[in-house]
Amino acid sequence: MKAVKIAVHAFDGITMFHLSVPQMVFGEVARQGLADWETVLFTDSEGFTDSGRSVRTLEGYGIDGLAGSEVVPGADIVVIPSWFDDGRPLPASLAQAIRQAHGNGAMIVGLCLGAFPVADSGLLGTRPAVTHWHALDAFSERHPGIPVDRTVLYIDHGDILTSAGTAAAMDACLHIVRSRLGAEAANRVARSLVVAPHRSGGQAQYIERPVRQMKDSNPIAEALDWAVEHLGERLGVDELAQAAHMSRRSFIRAFRAATGTTPATWLRTRRLDEVRRLLEITDLPVEQIAAKCGFTSPVTMRQNFVSAYATTPSEYRHLFSQRNAGTALRA
């Protein structure tokens, strides 16, 4: 499997959280032996030490030994994990390096406010983007020709990806792992980091309807955990509401507030996640996989799979069984 080089941009005033997310997720891929992924920090800052370029984080920590923008054109993935709060334009030298990397086949990723410099590079054209919810209006004013989607956690165009604010960067990075290495690899990374491998809904739920913290237990979370263990059974709103010990009406309202989506959409996503996992790690025929994951027929499963992933189950199995052939996935 080809080694993947990931260049992550750092600048004076970046928060340690924004800088750490891509390093944690992509670094975990290498630490677990899932693939040969190498992450390097680079900056166009004018700060230098004896060991190389340096930046100072918002928290006041100095980071030195960074590479310069010369590493960008040779990267397979270029990540701009955030941007300056003053929204300054993308410097011409960095824009040129990003465009050159893209021309060489690299994926360009703008996380949170990093969507601004990605858009500044001109690579998005008129394709939609997303950024932190508080900056959406400013983004639209700066790039009126780029539609913004205020509801999603990230948008992946294949060559360009942008994500919503802060924690959505974790979702976007796990998505990149999933798209390149498969669902099982992404699940392993997520389990190691103790985060959800895939969240349904979008950032709108965090703006308008924050999840209420319950003192003793969370019946919605309990119902979701129960549902994941019973995907092969007949599941609907009534069954989920019963698992949560709630009335149907109260459950639907609480479910939407907690997840930002409907029970049907959530169930379909979880079932498709399990389909992908079984396609990767088992030789089960699609008929058995469809039954195990709660689809009424292989045809229904295939239709939903193609709609979600733009490929068939058999093509997906072939692709990721080939990628994982030389990779040891230990439990």
The reported pLDDT for the residue numbered 318 is 82
Own/partner pairs, 62-67, CB within 8 angstroms, 24+ separation: 63/10, 63/19, 66/10, 66/41, 66/42, 67/7, 67/40, 67/41, 67/42, 67/43
Q: Per the domain annotation, does 215 fall within a domain?
A: yes
56 vs 65: CA distance, rounded Å: 12
Domain that holds residue 311: 265-323
If asked whether residues 98 and 33 sit together in one domain, one would say: yes
If asked whether residues 215 and 317 sit together in one domain, one would say: no
Q: Per the domain annotation, does 178 fall within a domain?
A: yes
If asked whether residues 134 and 74 sit together in one domain, one would say: yes
70 vs 131: CA distance, rounded Å: 27
Instruction: Report the CATH number that the domain containing residue 223 is assigned in CATH.
Output: 1.10.10.60
Which amino acid type is present at position 237? V
Strand intervals (E) in 67-186:
77-80, 107-110, 154-156, 160-163
The reported pLDDT for the residue numbered 208 is 40
Instruction: Report the CATH number that the domain containing residue 173 is assigned in CATH.
Output: 3.40.50.880
Residue ending a domain, among 193, 219, 236, is 193
The reported pLDDT for the residue numbered 221 is 84
If asked whether residues 270 and 256 sit together in one domain, one would say: no
Question: What does each C-alpha distance from 23 to 137, 148, 308 come to in angstroms?
Answer: 29, 27, 28
If asked whether residues 139 and 124 sit together in one domain, one would say: yes
If asked whether residues 100 and 248 sit together in one domain, one would say: no
Q: Per the domain annotation, does 188 fall within a domain?
A: yes
Instruction: Give φ, ψ of 282 to 5 degrees.
Output: -130, 170
Which amino acid type is present at position 35? A
If asked whether residues 35 and 87 sit together in one domain, one would say: yes
| Contact (CB, 8 A) for 9 and 55 | no
If asked whether residues 44 and 141 sit together in one domain, one would say: yes
Q: Per the domain annotation, does 329 fall within a domain?
A: no
> DSSP label at 67?
B
If asked whether residues 294 and 152 sit together in one domain, one would say: no
Question: What does each C-alpha distance from 196 to 118, 130, 189 come to in angstroms?
Answer: 27, 21, 10
125 vs 160: CA distance, rounded Å: 11
Q: Do β-strands 154-156 and 48-49 pair in parallel, antiparallel, or remain unpaired?
A: unpaired
Q: Per the domain annotation, does 318 fall within a domain?
A: yes
Q: Per the domain annotation, does 157 fall within a domain?
A: yes
Chain CA centroid to CA 169, Å: 6
If asked whether residues 120 and 140 sit together in one domain, one would say: yes
- Full strand arrangement of the beta sheet holding 48-49: 48-49, 52-56, 62-66
Encoded tokens for 327: 């990779």
| Contact (CB, 8 A) for 128 and 149 | yes
Comparing CA positions, the residue from 47, 81, 90, 80 lying closest to residue 66 is 47
If asked whether residues 164 and 79 sit together in one domain, one would say: yes
> DSSP label at 155?
E
The domain tally of the chain equals 3
Query: What number of other Cβ atoms are within 10 A of residue 222's Cβ?
Result: 13
Burial class (CB in 10 A: 0-12, 13-18, 19+), 232: middle
The reported pLDDT for the residue numbered 216 is 47
Residue ending a domain, among 146, 165, 193, is 193
pLDDT tens over the chain, length 331 residues: 679 999 999 999 999 999 999 999 999 999 999 999 999 999 998 777 777 799 999 999 999 999 999 999 999 999 999 999 999 999 999 999 999 999 999 999 999 999 999 999 999 999 999 999 889 999 999 999 999 988 788 999 999 999 998 789 999 999 999 989 988 898 899 888 877 666 655 554 344 433 334 444 688 888 988 998 999 999 999 999 999 999 999 999 998 887 778 899 889 989 998 998 899 889 999 999 999 999 999 999 999 999 888 889 998 888 776 555 443 332 2
Encoded tokens for 307: 């709609």
Q: Per the domain annotation, does 202 fall within a domain?
A: no
Q: Which residues contact 162 (CB under 8 A, 6 or more apart)?
A: 109, 110, 111, 114, 115, 118, 119, 124, 129, 130, 131, 154, 155
Residue ending a domain, among 228, 245, 260, is 260
The reported pLDDT for the residue numbered 1 is 63
SS3 89: coil
Q: Per the domain annotation, does 130 fall within a domain?
A: yes
If asked whether residues 182 and 309 sit together in one domain, one would say: no
